[in-house]
Amino acid sequence: MFCGSWVFYFLRKHYAKSFKGILKKSHFYWLFQTTICGYFVYFVNI
């Protein structure tokens, strides 16, 4: 849940103009979110 909120906030803040376009490609959005969450958790655990 944390990752989802963080990624959503990041995308909305930095890519507001293209955010709707990203949401249309929901499979890409979930893949991107999963990748970012994976790296985030990985670096935090280091």
Domain count, the chain: 1
Q: Kindly state the tokens that stand for 42.
A: 């990985």
Contact assessment for residue 19 and residue 13, using Cβ atoms and an 8 Å cutoff? no
Digit-by-digit pLDDT tens for the chain (46 residues) are 456 677 777 766 766 666 666 666 666 667 777 787 778 777 777 5
Give φ, ψ of 25 to 5 degrees. -100, 70
Given the structure tokens 């849940």, which residue do they identify?
A: 1
pTM: predicted TM-score of the whole model, two decimal places: 0.30
Q: How far apart are CA 46 and CA 39, in angstroms?
A: 11
Q: Whole domain around residue 24: which residue ranges? A: 2-45
